[in-house]
Amino acid sequence: MPRRAVWHWAAIGLVVVLMAGLGVYLLNRGGTKKSRPLNGDDLTLAWVDEPTDDPVRETKRQVADKSADPADPAPKMKPPPKQWIVEQPAKDPPQRENPPPPMPAAPPAPEIIRVVPEQPRSGGRLTISLTGKDSAGKDNAGKAADIEYRIQGQATWKKADRGLVELTDLPAPSLTIEFRVVDSRGRPSPILARTWHIEPKLIAQPLQLEWKLKPGDRFFQELRVLQKPAYNIQGIPFSTVLEYVVVSSFKVAKAGASGYEIQQKVEGAQLVQADALLQPLLAPAILKLPGTSFAIHLDAKMEVKQFEAAGLPPAVMAQGALGLQVGSLLDQDGWKEMARTTFFQPNRPLKQGAKWSEPMTHSWGALGSWSGRIHYAYGGGKGALHQFAFGLDLNYQAPKRKAGAGMLAISSAAFKAQQAGGVILFDADKGKVVEARERFLVRGRLAMQLLGQNVPADLEEDQHFHLRIIDVNPLKK
């Protein structure tokens, strides 16, 4: 072969090698694809040329083929054999298994929502209300979370039912309690610790109830009187009923260490009920009560020392069968007794069940009088109100001389109290009596002179008194 022809084929081989290398480079660069899962649609049959793994060897092969046919001045490259291949997408890299779920967090510490009392005392009680939640957010009202507590220094935890901790007989000088929430899996929350300072036990001071009055003070009294007398004369029964209401104002004219001077004035009066016998006789007298005034002098213990009436209408009596008195209004002595009840004051330290007594007399007009003692008993308090029960232990005293009762003269009489007493309510905050009730029920027999002969008569007197002490005039409501 001529030398020129060898050089020509060598140049062609070099070009082929360079182009083959460029092709391999471009194929490798453009063939990168994202991997995804393989499915049936991704399998594709394609007719492709057999790839050339070694460009240099392929070039030598083509040169050899050219040498075998020197008559062809520009031999063509022999196409590589064709084959069927299956295209498959690249596989995804293996994935790691899902990690196990994290353990639930411990429940949060409980919260204190109320403490009673705010300042506990030695020997007293302490009630603590708490709320708590587990890691899932359920509160202690359900079954997911429980609240426990223990006094610091103790090893055992106790369950707080419904979130309440109740302790008694508290020790001084301090108390530390630890709280925690325990969820349904038994995981405890962080501990909440709280310390209370325990005040020393109070030395009980005796209760002392006193009126609180100063010059110029003004208040009102509403007095309701109900009388139900009944008689039986020579087998003939008689009964009647009388009820009326009187409203009075009270003004403190003087107040000092020596006592008080009170001015009482009747502001209004009303007949509530009366039978046909009493109404025409007593209704006019009741209408004359407004304007009546009383001067009440009290000592430092609120005891009535002097009682003066001004403008009180004359005593009016209604007469029944044979001229016997069957009804009347309060006289001056009756108003004095109402003042005594109004300005009641224990005048001693009080404790539950305390009892004491004082002397008492009561005038019964033409029928005689009563004397004895009034017994008081402290019934305890509810809030500011304190209740006192009282009972009258009285003995009847007949008139010392023949007395007239209406048109008849009473030659003898004997009576006994069946029920005599009532209750008084004292308001410690207001410093005064606010209400009182009394019942005076007596039965007895008297003898009256009629045409020179004694006529016996059985008598029952049932009186009810109800008074209220108020700050405003009830007549103006």
| Dist CA 76 CA 79 (whole Å) | 9
| 376, 344 Cβ separation under 8 angstroms | no
Q: Backbone phi, then psi, for 368, in 5-degree steps?
A: 120, -145
Is there a single domain that holds both residue 276 and residue 133? Answer: no
Final residue belonging to a domain, choices 149, 165, 197: 197
> What are the tens digits of pLDDT across the range 100-152?
766 667 889 999 999 999 999 998 999 999 998 876 666 655 556 899 999 98
Is there a single domain that holds both residue 282 and residue 141? Answer: no
> What are the tens digits of pLDDT across the range 55-103?
555 555 554 555 445 555 555 555 655 555 555 555 666 666 677 766 6
| Dist CA 169 CA 124 (whole Å) | 5
Is there a single domain that holds both residue 320 and residue 352? Answer: yes
Residue with tokens 């196990």: 100
Domain containing residue 177:
111-197
Kindly state whether residue 407 falls inside one of the protein's structural domains: yes
Handedness of CA 16, 21, 26, 27 (dihedral sign): positive
Pull the structure tokens for residue 477: 């409501």
Across residues 420-434, what is the average pLDDT?
95
Burial class of 271 by CB neighbour count within 10 A (0 to 12, 13 to 18, 19+) = middle
Final residue belonging to a domain, choices 197, 230, 257: 197
Is there a single domain that holds both residue 177 and residue 290? Answer: no
Q: CA dist 446 to 183, 267, 403, Å?
A: 86, 38, 11
Q: Is 322 or 95 the better-scoring residue by pLDDT?
A: 95
Kindly state whether residue 40 falls inside one of the protein's structural domains: no
Q: Which helix (H) or strand (E) holds 59?
A: helix 55-68
Q: Which helix (H) or strand (E) holds 49?
A: strand 44-49
1: Cα within 13 Å, side-chain hemisphere: 14
Longest dimension (CA), the chain: 198
Kindly state whether residue 212 falls inside one of the protein's structural domains: no
| Dist CA 82 CA 80 (whole Å) | 6
Percentage of the chain beyond pLDDT 90 is 49
* Distance from chain centroid for Cα 124: 20
Is there a single domain that holds both residue 290 and residue 422? Answer: yes
Kindly state whether residue 89 falls inside one of the protein's structural domains: no
Q: Is 366 or 430 the better-scoring residue by pLDDT?
A: 430
Kindly state whether residue 30 falls inside one of the protein's structural domains: no
Query: In whole numbers, what is the pLDDT of the chain averaged over residues?
Result: 81
> What are the tens digits of pLDDT across the range 164-218?
999 999 998 999 999 999 988 888 999 999 999 999 887 667 788 999 999 999 9
CATH assignment of the domain containing 146: 2.60.40.10
Q: In the beta sheet, which residues pair with residue 56?
A: none
pLDDT band at 1 (very low <50, low <70, confident <90, very high): very low
pLDDT of residue 358: 94
| Dist CA 83 CA 328 (whole Å) | 142
| Dist CA 65 CA 76 (whole Å) | 9
61: Cα within 13 Å, side-chain hemisphere: 11
pLDDT of residue 83: 54
Q: Is 330 or 92 the better-scoring residue by pLDDT?
A: 330
Number of compact structural domains in the chain: 3
pLDDT band at 452 (very low <50, low <70, confident <90, very high): confident
